[in-house]
Structure formats: structure tokens, C-alpha cells
Amino acid sequence: MDKLAAERSGNGSAVVREALKTYADVEDRLDEIENDPAFQEMIKKSDADIKAGRVIPHEEVVRGIRARHKRRKKQ
């Protein structure tokens, strides 16, 4: 915080105010996104895909990427 305050004439409270405003702005934007009907529909579809087993687990995707990376390094 000292480094950030130094860039603002040593005003630590300005850093805190700026951080709180940024946090509030992000929260407001997230609320807008979450309340968007298109977003809500996408989440419902994703949940249905997960329940139906139409997704690949994250760990499996990571293993595949690492394996491909190793094969490419050998070439």
C-alpha cells in the first residue's frame, strides 16, 4: 500500500477509496451479468449438460493438454 500511496502523494486513504470504488463497480457489473436472462439460460444449459454427462472433467482436459504438449516437445 505504501508504494501505491507514494504514487498518490502519500495519500493512503485515496488508495483505499479507489480500491473500494473499484470493488463496488465490479460487484455492480457482476449483478448486471447475473441478472441477464441470456446468462441465466446459459447457466441452466450448462447445469443440464453437467447432469447429463456431456462435459469433460477439468482434470481430464488438463491431462490431455499436458500429453499433447509433451508430444510436441519431442518433435
Looking at residue 2, its pLDDT comes to 80
Judge whether residue 14 has pLDDT over 80. yes
Query: Are 58 and 43 in the same domain?
Result: yes
Cβ-based burial of 5 (10 A; exposed 0-12, middle 13-18, buried ≥19) = middle
Looking at residue 9, its pLDDT comes to 77
Query: Are 42 and 69 in the same domain?
Result: yes
Query: Are 1 and 30 in the same domain?
Result: yes
Judge whether residue 35 has pLDDT over 90. yes
Query: Are 28 and 52 in the same domain?
Result: no
Task: Specify the pTM.
Answer: 0.56
Domain carrying residue 1: 1-35
The CA dihedral of 21, 24, 30, 31, to the nearest 10 degrees, is -140
Looking at residue 24, its pLDDT comes to 98
Query: Are 41 and 23 in the same domain?
Result: no
Judge whether residue 8 has pLDDT over 80. no
Average pLDDT over every residue of 40-56 = 94
Distances (CA, A) of 50 to 20, 37, 47, 55, 56: 36, 20, 5, 6, 9
Average pLDDT over every residue of 51-55 = 93
d(CA 26, CA 33): 11
Query: Are 42 and 30 in the same domain?
Result: no
